[in-house]
Structure 1
Amino acid sequence: MILDESVKLCLLNDFYGSLLTENQQKVLDSYLNFNMPLVEISQNMNISRQAVLDTIKKATSKLEMLESKLGMLDKYLKQNELVGNSKKVDKELITKLLEVWK
């Protein structure tokens, strides 16, 4: 499944956002969930626009690194694909789902 980059980043933030610093969480939350422009985030947090951009880049990099090591988003997407393709939950589907999370 191919995801739009912004959707992927939102999902990565859902999975791993709690592992970011408090500042990174606030900036990324404002940027992703409230669709705030960099200037508005910088004004609200009393930091420069460049600091906001750097924080977003560092947080994004950390989220992508965590996904490359843990792969939870990939497993989640595979699980959803399996369930979406199945009309009912049966023993074979459960076995496939368990394989995804190994």
Structure 2
Amino acid sequence: MKHDALTMALLYDYYGELLTEKQRTCFDLYYNQDLSLSEIAEDLGVTRQGVHDTLARAEAQLRDFEEKTGCIAREEAVRAACGQIGAAAHALLAVPGAEEAARQILAAVDKIKE
């Protein structure tokens, strides 16, 4: 069931508040507390299958949110572009007369990265 836990954690960080309380609880217990489906079922007083279904719906919803909004993909693209712009600005530092412009570009990139 743990479909790339890192990806799920990132999706949850972005979109977790859009899940139901029950989905958030199951997700937290499964991914963050590392409890088994049986342990979660016992803690919540539901069946193991119920926990499995809740997690499956939560994971599907998180993937769907990203597919529809693309927020994570956009942020990754911005980070990559910042890296490329920063590298180009560092190269400009070596060009006589372009040092100040390069510093301004680097400062702007640093602001975006924050």
Residue 76 (structure 2) aligns with: 77
Change (3 A) 1:90 1:23: farther
CA displacement, residues 43-65 of structure 1 (integer Å, 9 cap, x when unaligned): 11000000000000000111111
* Structure 2 unaligned residues grouped into runs of 5+: 91-102
Q: Secondary structure at the match of 2:46?
A: coil
In the alignment, residue 11 of structure 1 is paired with which amino acid? L
* Structure 1 unaligned residues grouped into runs of 5+: 98-102
In 2, the alpha carbon distance for the partners of 1:80 and 1:38 equals: 36
In the alignment, residue 76 of structure 1 is paired with which amino acid? E
Residue 105 (structure 2) aligns with: 91
Residue 60 (structure 1) aligns with: 59
Q: TM-score, normalised by structure 2?
A: 0.69
In the alignment, residue 9 of structure 1 is paired with which amino acid? M
Greater RCO, CA 8 A, separation 6+: 1
Residue 5 of structure 1 and its aligned partner are, at CA, apart by: 1.7
Residue 10 (structure 1) aligns with: 9
Residue 84 of structure 1 and its aligned partner are, at CA, apart by: 5.1
1:11-50 equivalent positions in 2, closer than 5 A: 11-50=10-49
User: Paired residues, what number?
Assistant: 92
In 1, the alpha carbon distance for the partners of 2:42 and 2:81 equals: 45
Larger CA deviation: 83-92 vs 64-73: 83-92
In the alignment, residue 9 of structure 2 is paired with which amino acid? C
